[in-house]
Amino acid sequence: MTYAGLTTADKGALLDAEEIGVEWIVRDYTNELWGFDKKPRKRKCDNGGFLYCHSLDNCDLGASPLDADTLLFIPRESKPISVSASLRKIDRMENNGTVF
């Protein structure tokens, strides 16, 4: 998984998400940002877009709405992004002096 566009400025929003138990983040076809406690699965909607959920029966289960104006490196309908992997990447950027 690539994290193109991830910057050290994303650290605060990722830490906030981690604090409420979010381990995976996705942006759906409507540009809404959702956090999950375990890796969600992609589900095709009737209108052609995709939603992400734990269960194909109930997409509300385990989802936490997040501020869609944050974490702009996460594109619409991308694969789920790991919060811990993103934070590790930011730590490496900070340790290498690559601060954006």
The reported pLDDT for the residue numbered 55 is 54
Residue spans of beta strands (DSSP E) within the chain: 24-27, 33-36, 41-44, 50-53, 63-66, 81-82
pLDDT digits (tens, 9 = 90+) for 26-68: 988 888 899 998 888 777 766 666 666 655 555 555 678 899 9
* Any domain includes 2: no
pLDDT digits (tens, 9 = 90+) for 5-17: 899 999 999 999 9
52, β-bridge pairs? 42
User: Around Cβ 99, how many Cβ atoms within 10 Å?
Assistant: 10
pLDDT at 21 over 80: yes
Could you give the number of structural domains in the chain? 1
Range of the domain at 68: 8-95
* Any domain includes 3: no
pTM score above 0.85: no
Contact at 8 Å (CB) between 73 and 6? yes
* Any domain includes 100: no
* Any domain includes 84: yes
- Mean pLDDT across the stretch 68-87? 92
* Any domain includes 85: yes
* Any domain includes 61: yes
